[in-house]
Structure 1
Amino acid sequence: MNIVHFLLALLANFVWGFNFIAGKAGAEQFQPLLFTALRFFFLLLVMLPWLRPAPGYMWPLLRVAILLGVGHFSMMFIGLNAGGNIASVAITTQLYVPFSAILAAIFLGEKISAIRVVAILIALCGVMVIGFDPVVFNHLDAIFWVMGAAFMMAVATIMMRQFPNLGVFKLQAWIALVATPSLLLLSLIFESGHGQVLASARWMDFWTPLYSAIGASVVGHGIVYYLLGRYSVSIVTPLMLLAPVLASVFGVLFFQDQIGWKLIVGGVLTLIGVLLVSVHPELWKKWLRRWIATSGDNR
């Protein structure tokens, strides 16, 4: 990977990491469901030029839009708003990677290597350790919401195999179209005081849903889609593991989050597990053979 593409990967990590700050601040300001609806409203305005039919793929596309737009994002922002700290939420969202591997094995018949089985167990153990951190333990509902969000994303990831060449911006456009009215309806049902919330909001308060839409969806996903067109998934995906680390740092800087040793240990275990799942088994075998050969030469 050349230096320009590496810097783009760093930018994607930065905007995704800071999205947790915007999400937590926005969910507190507007309420989680209303914030998510505003986020997708802004995204829809930007993505309108890409809102075109996808012949032959409309039904699976609409199902993915519901899972990601309504399910995943609403649960993630509810989790952010539920309390605890940003680090635990940002790290737990990474469970979508092992969840995806499990679902691919069940529904697509993909084989899970021994390394990936161990990796999935490591990632899940890491989240369990995070849950025993005193700060997180008092807000376990946040972890369960975020685990649900990760599972929703994993299901949507498997379903997106049906239209691999749709294009990230067209997908974002349809997600925004489906999510905006759906989330607004859910907000009207489960949340209250919308008039007061919107009336008391200043123009500058709308930076949070605007950033989440433009920064995370347009810039972040756009960069990753660009990189995936030039490098393999096993190269790009591990680079994105910096995002939850940056989110943890931002949580300390902007929300004075407390990072205990259990959260650090659990976070490291989870990210190691996700890394092991992300890299193709054949690459691990190749690296292992190279390491053995190098060790033999050194003797």
Structure 2
Amino acid sequence: MPASHFLLLLFICLVWAGNFIAAAWAVQTMEPITFTVVRFSLVLLLLLPLLRFPARRQWLLLVSCCWTMGAIHFGLIFFALGRSADVSSIALLMQIYIPMSTLLAVLVLGERIGWRTTTGILVSFSGVLIMGLDPLVLAQIDVLLLVLASALSLATGTILMRRLQGISVLNFQAWNALLSVVPLALLALWFEDPIQGIPASFSAPDVWLAVAYSAIGASIIGHGGFYWLIQRHEVNRITPYLLLVPILAVLLGVLFWGDRPGPRLLSGGALVLAGVLWITLRARWRRRPRIPKPAPPSP
């Protein structure tokens, strides 16, 4: 990988890590579902020229992907950030979506995994159990459940997206925003007060900077740059570096959000990341083409 591509990948990891801080900051002023609606609206506004209609047979799958990876996933995670006292636990817990995706691939797609991958999954889930015993997490069980539900929704969307064809990443981002805005807006009108909340937030311009960061930085630049990279490199060469996202998010949480993660949170998070890394490396090893051994010379 050229140095410029590697630096771009590191930049994307940093941007995605910073999105936890930006979202946590925004939902202190703007209600979580309303923030999600505003974020998706900005993404839709910027990507509307790239919106292209998919094939008719792809519609149901597209809607399912957008709701699971968009409305449900982001709605739950931003709601969790609004209720949480820290960012670190959420950034670490969200990584459980990778073992969840592997399990769903076995249950739904009929994929087979060996005992080594199963071990990685068990290690990750044991990390979640240890994190759940941390006093900070025990004090906010509702946040733990919200994050796990968000991770399950993202894992479901990841499995569904494997069957999605003929849709570019920015076109998907545009549809994701369009199809997520409507149900989220209805939820915001039902549970929150966006009609008064959005105008009131104009007195806090830093909230809108956070919205712009989340929409433009994390969604458009982050996902667009990541898609650009995976078009030029093997996916399994890039995905291990994504483990930098929760690590950077924890560091940013400590530096800028006042997080003070305890030993159970850190050790449990380390187990989650270790299991995720092992699953990722095993997937990379399985997909690597095996070179046949040369035949021994004839006597």
TM above 0.5, yes or no, is: yes
Q: Does 1:89 align with 2:90?
A: yes
Q: Is the CA contact (8 Å cut-off) linking 1:122 and 1:269 kept in structure 2?
A: yes
Instruction: Give the match for residue 245 of structure 1.
Output: 247
Q: Is the CA contact (8 Å cut-off) linking 1:130 and 1:266 kept in structure 2?
A: yes
Instruction: Give the match for residue 109 of structure 1.
Output: 110
Instruction: Give the match for residue 48 of structure 1.
Output: 48
CA-CA distance at 1:206 after TM superposition? 0.9
1:214-229 maps to which residues of 2 (within 5 A)? 214-229=216-231
1:249-288 maps to which residues of 2 (within 5 A)? 249-281=251-283, 283=285
**Structure 1 counterpart of 2:39, which letter?**
R
Q: Is the CA contact (8 Å cut-off) linking 1:70 and 1:183 kept in structure 2?
A: yes
- Which 5+ residue runs of structure 2 have no aligned equivalent? 289-299
Deviating more after overlay: 225-234 vs 242-251: 225-234
CA change 1:164–1:273 in 2 (3 A) is farther
Instruction: Give the match for residue 58 of structure 2.
Output: 57
1:1-299 maps to which residues of 2 (within 5 A)? 1-55=1-55, 56-192=57-193, 194-196=195-197, 198-202=199-203, 203-281=205-283, 283=285
Q: Is the CA contact (8 Å cut-off) linking 1:234 and 1:280 kept in structure 2?
A: no
**1:191-221 CA-partner distances (Å, limit 9, x unpaired):** 2374155324333421112111111111111
Instruction: Give the match for residue 296 of structure 1.
Output: none
Q: What's the C-alpha RMSD, in Å, of the aligned pairs?
A: 1.7
CA-CA distance at 1:285 after TM superposition? 11
**Structure 1 counterpart of 2:238, which letter?**
V
Q: Matched residue of 2:259: which SS?
A: coil
**Structure 2 counterpart of 1:255, which letter?**
W
> Aligned partners of 1:79, 1:66: CA distance in 2, in Å?
18
Runs of 4+ in 1 over 6 A off after TM superposition: none
> Aligned partners of 2:44, 2:254: CA distance in 1, in Å?
32
CA change 1:136–1:194 in 2 (3 A) is farther
**Structure 2 counterpart of 1:60, which letter?**
L
**1:231-280 CA-partner distances (Å, limit 9, x unpaired):** 22221111011011111111111211111111111111000111111123
CA-CA distance at 1:281 after TM superposition? 4.6
With normalisation by structure 1, the TM-score equals: 0.91
> Aligned partners of 1:270, 1:54: CA distance in 2, in Å?
37
CA change 1:109–1:35 in 2 (3 A) is same
- Number of residue pairs matched? 286
Q: Matched residue of 1:29: which SS?
A: coil
Identity %: 37
Q: Is the CA contact (8 Å cut-off) linking 2:37 and 2:184 kept in structure 1?
A: yes
> Aligned partners of 1:182, 1:229: CA distance in 2, in Å?
32
CA change 1:208–1:156 in 2 (3 A) is same
